Amino acid sequence: MKKFFALLKVSVKSMLLSSTNSRGNSRKKAATGAGAMLLIAFLGLYMSGLYSSMLMQVLAPVHMEVLVFIFMGMGALVGGLMFTTFAVKGVVFGGKDNDLLLSMPVSTTALMASRVSAIYLENLLFSFFVLAPAGAVCAFMTQSGVGHSLLFWVRLIVAVFALPLLDTALSVLLGALVAFLSARVSKGALGQNIVMALYMAAVVWFVFNLNGMIEGLAANAAGVKESLSWAAPMLWMADGIMGDWGLLLAFAACCIVPFAVVVFGLGKVYRQAVTAFAARSARNDYKLSAQAASGQKKALLAKEARRFFGTPMYMWNSGIGLMMLVAMGVAALVMRRDLQSLLAMVGGDFPTALAAAAVMGFCLSMCAIAAPSISLEGKYLWILREAPVREGELLWIKTGFQLLLSVPCTVIAGVCLAAALQLSLWEGAALLLVTLLFNLGHAAFGMLMGLAFPKLDAVNETVVVKQSLAVVLGMFVPMAVVGVCALLYLLGDMLAPWAALALPLVLLAAFAAGCVFVLAKKGPAMLRAL
């Protein structure tokens, strides 16, 4: 056990440091790490609290509070899976220190357990952020008073600790499949992309069905619960939290057993798995033919594209916002009649253009392509530094790559939305103008965050793309800018119609101009100092 805890300490420390930047003293690192953690915690608690209270408002009057825990438990499970499945490949099977640790007199099961425990801790955080607000909502919004007893909280804590065990077992198995495909399929990235696409399709199907379930919740809550019999462990968890100790224990067993099987089963073959997943031998059948030349800029852009499209972790995490943006635009156009009748029901005062711009801004905020790109250079940064290219040019190529992807998506989505929502010509033009300005500011801001909070020593790209401070700030600060713009629109609307557009436009122009100016002025020196 002593060895296990020593290994666990290393894994956890590595995980905790993953959000910090690689420069600065330990106090600064701790502060940036804590800041990122607080931001994620706040958002997690807020989102979960919001959805829990929305559900509870519908379900408490019909005494079906149990469904809140079923849905939130499912949310935690699916969210945790999304968050950690692709991390498993790097954290569990592809750690840089695998060679070192496997050469030490430590059992492979202990090593596997320590790696898996780090994933468990991530899932535990997720479980806590989702279930704790649901518990708080239950305590305040139910009439039965079930949430006021100490035992309710004890049962909730048991669920919070047990659920991530199931999540971890599933994500380790799926992650092993991803690692296997990457090693075995010649187009490893394509294989991973297919798995991720199927996974996203499953999530979308689930979300669509969940929406349908919530719509008919109040009328048929009991029926909805019955229809969820395929997710029996979630029902046991929810009934357990609400007071059934037997079902809670059954749920705990349902989580502990798969976790133990995965840890001990894969632990026994950990060495073989690590070897098999890493074994990619170079072929020896290449025939050199005439090579083509291209310019510096094209080569650097092609390199960014190759990294983005060839690294599923990067593409799916940083590109999901753009996919959502285009999908939303096309879906709005296809279902424009439904959308228009919905808007007619809401009434003529609804700020349609504002809503479209806000949703587009939200999707674009999630497109953090430039923010992690400096950290992704990591150990390869010497190649760019040695190259006869000015630092400023390197930064603009990285920023430009994000714009190259986001601008066409913005235009497609903007045009589709303008047509679907029947916006006037000037409203459509304004929508495109503000979202394009936002694109520019967001890309430049992301690049600046990448330079200010680099993570050049990350153990794998998962850490950079998912957890680095640059990415967290590169997403959430622009989201806050979108929020402030919406407020300014509403404020301006109270003054004069022109002010409603002018105020957010001025803010966005200032945001874009400020970020571009700082990037141009300070960026090269910041890159040189890394």
Partner 1 sequence: MLRIEHYSKTYPGGKKAVDDLTLHVRPGEIYGFIGHNGAGKTTTLRAVAGVMDFTEGTITIDGRDIKKDPVGAKRVTAFLPDNPDLYEFMKGIDYLNFIADLYDIPADRRTKDIGRFGDAFELTGSLGSPIGSYSHGMRQKLALISAFIRRPKLLILDEPFVGLDPSASHLMKGYLAELCQGGSAVFFSTHVLEVAEKLCHQIAIIKDGRLVKSGPTEQLVGDSSLEDVFLELEGDK
| Residue choice 106, 250, 385, 457 for contact with partner 1 (CB under 8 A) | 385
Of 3 and 307, CB closest to partner 1: 307
Half-sphere exposure of 183 (CA within 13 A, CB side): 19
Question: Under 8 Å CB-to-CB from 15, ≥6 apart: which residues?
Answer: 91, 118, 121, 122
CB 433 within 8 A of CB 356: no
303 touching partner 1, by CB under 8 A = yes
Distance between CA atoms of residues 435 and 440, nearest Å? 9
Of 309 and 362, CB closest to partner 1: 309
387 touching partner 1, by CB under 8 A = yes
27 touching partner 1, by CB under 8 A = no
Of 25 and 143, CB closest to partner 1: 25
| Residue choice 103, 150, 347, 382 for contact with partner 1 (CB under 8 A) | 382
Of 148 and 390, CB closest to partner 1: 390
Q: How far is the CB of 366 from partner 1 (least distance, A)?
A: 23
Of 9 and 187, CB closest to partner 1: 187
230 touching partner 1, by CB under 8 A = no
Q: Which residues, 273 to 302, sit near partner 1 by CB under 8 A?
A: 280-286, 288-296, 298-300, 302
Of 382 and 498, CB closest to partner 1: 382
Distance between CA atoms of residues 205 and 199, nearest Å? 10
Q: Which two tokens stand for residue 456?
A: 């050049």
**Amino acid identity for residue 131 in this structure:** L
Question: Would you give the binding string for partner 1 spanning residues 477-516, x where CB under 8 A is met?
Answer: ----------------------------------------
Q: Which residues, 129 to 158, sit near partner 1 by CB under 8 A?
A: none
Of 155 and 455, CB closest to partner 1: 455
| Residue position matching structure tokens 């009991």 | 222
Calculate helix-pair angle for 352-365, 391-420, nearest 10 degrees: 140
26 touching partner 1, by CB under 8 A = no
Q: Which residues, 175 to 194, sit near partner 1 by CB under 8 A?
A: none
Other CB atoms within a 10 A radius of the CB of residue 13 amount to: 11
460 touching partner 1, by CB under 8 A = no
Distance between CA atoms of residues 224 and 399, nearest Å? 48
CA triplet 308, 310, 316: central angle to 5 degrees?
60
R_g over Cα of the chain: 25
Site size with partner 1, rule: CB under 8 A: 37
**Amino acid identity for residue 116 in this structure:** V
Q: How far is the CB of 143 from partner 1 (least distance, A)?
A: 57
**C-alpha of 464 from chain center:** 12
Other CB atoms within a 10 A radius of the CB of residue 250 amount to: 16
| Residue position matching structure tokens 């993570």 | 455
Of 340 and 460, CB closest to partner 1: 460
Binding segment for partner 1 among 169-177, 346-354, 388-396, 481-489 (CB under 8 A)?
A: 388-396
3-class SS at 169?
A: helix
Distance between CA atoms of residues 52 and 362, nearest Å? 22
380 touching partner 1, by CB under 8 A = yes
Contacting positions for partner 1 (CB under 8 A): 280-286, 288-296, 298-300, 302-303, 306-307, 310-311, 379-380, 382-383, 385-390, 528-529
